[in-house]
Amino acid sequence: MSDRHLIIIGGGLAGLSAGCYARRAGFRTTIVEHNLALGGVCAAWHRGPYLVDGCIHWLTGGAFQQVYEELDILPAVKLNVLDTWVTYRDASTGFEVALTRDLDALARRLTDAAPEDAAEIARMRDGARALLAMHPSIDSPELATVGDTMSQLWEMRGALGSLVHFRKPMGRWAAEHVRSAQLRRMFAQLMPESTPALFLLLVLGYLGEGYLSRPVGGTEAFRDALVHAYRSLGGESMVHSTVDEVVVRGDRARGVRLADGTIMDADLVLSTSSGPETVLRLLGGRYEGDAMRKRMAAWTTFDPIVLASFGVAAPFAETPSLLELDRVPPFEVGGRRNDSLMVRVCNDDPCFAPVGHTVIQALVPTDYEWWATRGARYNDEKDVLAERLVGVLAPHFPGLADLVRLTDVATPLTYWHTARSWRGAFEGWQPSGEAIFARLHKRLSGLDGFYMAGQWVEPGGGVPTAVMSGRHAVQLMCRDEGRVFTPTGMNWN
């Protein structure tokens, strides 16, 4: 077996995935993780009898299923296929739509609500189906041959009309093509405005095909299966250890220096930390620093969030398990006024709460700076906010105030302290057209033996892209090291 040693900075999904593939390719691997536990932002934590699920609202399968299988997450974890992706409710008008797997029924429901948009709704439904004919490759695009690119283009031919029509940012597409103000408002709440409308079609297409699911046992089961796979492959890890510098000699990564001054030697280093931290702090801006600074000025990161979870003594079994609540009376969250929020009701899996109880979660955009400047009032502000959110939710959950048995509030500082999410951007860069089509590389020019993976090199973030990017980085590594990439089995010669 090879003794080439790879240090992986960060034990989130991308780091764990890279670790598994690197072990299969015969590298010795050590994950160095800042937090007390592995998993990164893909986290779940126990609070008394409740399990607070901090991540997976929906898991995208389809082409990505193979990656989960290679990583031994499937079939170890069972999946519950989603019949409804999300239910949109306009609290001011009572308008409600469940975005269901039956795309024809969904199109009929939307057309009933907005007959003037019948043609555009039909176009969406057909486009969602047409996009499914494309089979995104799970192999590294940086290793794609001309032949690979040509065959992908060929597969796209049937979807070309939809690709052109829906390539516009959500906000612009809705403004130009949707006449009903109610539907325009709904679409704008479902995806960030700068995201190409194509993303919505892709989600609907995947939903229609049964490719969207939730892991049985929630985020915890998914994360633990991947941690188990990494450990079973002989991967090593250190937690509560922060990397302060990537050690470079002769334009080659040679190891890392930890916050306590310890130097760890390595033949190869892979970072899954945020782009700004990796390029500007750990490497001191010496490799592609200017490009990163420009990106930070021009691109948008995901809004920081508050995730407030309430353990409640009622099952709320009939409430949709994912609810986009819109046009509620305006309320403030960390210096930011909101009139909408995403609500998760964990009523679809017994793992979250004792019988007769459930966990209700509110996910709301907020301001990083506000939380970072609360000083000694930080915890009090969390309590104040929790109470305010119960008030916002109460009209939709009768009797809520008297039913709450547990309150847990995660702020952007929680994401910084536990996963070093840069300024609370829990999913990295927003997937604007520019960010997606720029195709970020997983190497930095001029620096050998160094790779990157994770949501900061995959704009839009998400579970599937995080694990796939770990695969891509190891494919590049195998190419550079003259090794065969073995996605399953072992190559320990």
Ligand X SMILES: Cc1cc2nc3c(=O)[nH]c(=O)nc-3n(C[C@H](O)[C@H](O)[C@H](O)COP(=O)(O)OP(=O)(O)OC[C@H]3O[C@@H](n4cnc5c(N)ncnc54)[C@H](O)[C@@H]3O)c2cc1C
- Which residue's CB is nearer to ligand X, number 9 or number 393? 9
Q: Does 223 bind ligand X (CB under 6 A)?
A: no
Q: Does 56 bind ligand X (CB under 6 A)?
A: yes
- Which residue's CB is nearer to ligand X, number 119 or number 263? 263
- Cross-strand bridge partners of residue 221: none
β 28-32/236-238 pair status: parallel
Q: How far is the CB of 327 from ligand X (least distance, A)?
A: 23
Q: How far is the CB of 93 from ligand X (least distance, A)?
A: 27
- Which residue's CB is nearer to ligand X, number 100 or number 272? 272
Q: Does 461 bind ligand X (CB under 6 A)?
A: yes
Q: Does 362 bind ligand X (CB under 6 A)?
A: no
- Which residue's CB is nearer to ligand X, number 114 or number 450? 450
Q: Which stretch binds ligand X (CB under 6 A): 28-36, 69-77, 120-128, 150-158?
A: 28-36
- Pick the binder of ligand X from 6, 7, 13, 202 (CB under 6 A): 13
User: What strands, in cross-sheet order, belong to the sheet with 268-271?
Assistant: 236-238, 28-32, 5-9, 268-271, 450-452
Q: How far is the CB of 25 from ligand X (least distance, A)?
A: 19
Binding track, positions 258-287, relative to ligand X; x by CB under 6 A: --------------xx---x----------
Q: Which stretch binds ligand X (CB under 6 A): 158-166, 225-233, 415-423, 476-484?
A: 415-423
Bond into 354 cis (ω within 30):
no
Q: Which residues contact 96 (CB under 8 A, 6 or more apart)?
A: 87, 88, 89, 90
Q: Does 307 bind ligand X (CB under 6 A)?
A: yes
Q: How far is the CB of 394 from ligand X (least distance, A)?
A: 23
- Which residue's CB is nearer to ligand X, number 114 or number 218? 218
What would the 3-class secondary structure string for the chain be? CCCCEEEEECCEHHHHHHHHHHHHCCCEEEEECCCCCCECCCCEEEECCEEEECCCCCEECHHHHHHHHHCCCCCCCCEEECCEEEEEEECCCCCEEEEECCHHHHHHHHHHHCHHHHHHHHHHHHHHHHHCCCCCCCCCHHHCCHHHHHHHHHHHHHHHHHHHHCCCEHHHHHHHHCCCHHHHHHHHHHCCCCCECHHHHHHHHHHHCCCEEEECCHHHHHHHHHHHHHHHCCCEEECCCCEEEEEEECCEEEEEEECCCCEEECCEEEECCCHHHHHHHHCCCCCCHHHHHHHHHHCCECCCEEEEEEEECCCCCCCCCEEEEEEEEEEEECCEEEEEEEEEECCCCHHHCCCCCEEEEEEEECCHHHHHCCHHHHHHHHHHHHHHHHHHHHHHCCCHHHHEEEEEEECHHHHHHHHCCHHHCCCCECCCHHHHHCCCCCCCCCCECEEECCCCCCCCCCHHHHHHHHHHHHHHHHHHHCCCCCCCCCCCC
- Which residue's CB is nearer to ligand X, number 197 or number 322? 322
Q: How far is the CB of 161 from ligand X (least distance, A)?
A: 28
Q: Which stretch binds ligand X (CB under 6 A): 12-20, 121-129, 148-156, 166-174?
A: 12-20
- Which residue's CB is nearer to ligand X, number 97 or number 270? 270
Q: Is the Cα dihedral 461, 79, 410, 9 positive or negative?
A: negative
Structural tokens at position 16: 């764990």
- Which residue's CB is nearer to ligand X, number 283 or number 403? 283
Q: Does 14 bind ligand X (CB under 6 A)?
A: yes
- Pick the binder of ligand X from 123, 420, 442, 471 (CB under 6 A): 420
- Which residue's CB is nearer to ligand X, number 306 or number 312? 306
β 243-249/252-258 pair status: antiparallel
Q: How far is the CB of 490 from ligand X (least distance, A)?
A: 24
**Do 41 and 424 touch, CB atoms closer than 8 A?**
no
Q: Does 301 bind ligand X (CB under 6 A)?
A: no
Q: Which stretch binds ligand X (CB under 6 A): 34-42, 170-178, 189-197, 337-345?
A: 34-42
- Which residue's CB is nearer to ligand X, number 449 or number 464? 464
- Which residue's CB is nearer to ligand X, number 271 or number 358? 271
Residue 493's CB: how many other CB atoms inside 10 A? 8
- Which residue's CB is nearer to ligand X, number 184 or number 371? 371
- Pick the binder of ligand X from 98, 202, 229, 243 (CB under 6 A): 243
Q: How far is the CB of 303 from ligand X (least distance, A)?
A: 12
Residues 174 to 203: which contact ligand X by CB under 6 A? none
Residues 99 to 158: which contact ligand X by CB under 6 A? none
Distance CA 186, CA 257 (A): 48
Binding track, positions 65-104, relative to ligand X; x by CB under 6 A: ----------------------------------------
Q: Which stretch binds ligand X (CB under 6 A): 138-146, 161-169, 286-294, 420-428?
A: 420-428
- Pick the binder of ligand X from 4, 57, 336, 396 (CB under 6 A): 57
- Judged by the rule CB under 6 A, the positions of this chain that interact with ligand X are 9-15, 32-35, 40-42, 54-58, 60, 242-243, 272-273, 277, 307, 419-421, 426-427, 454-455, 461-464, 466
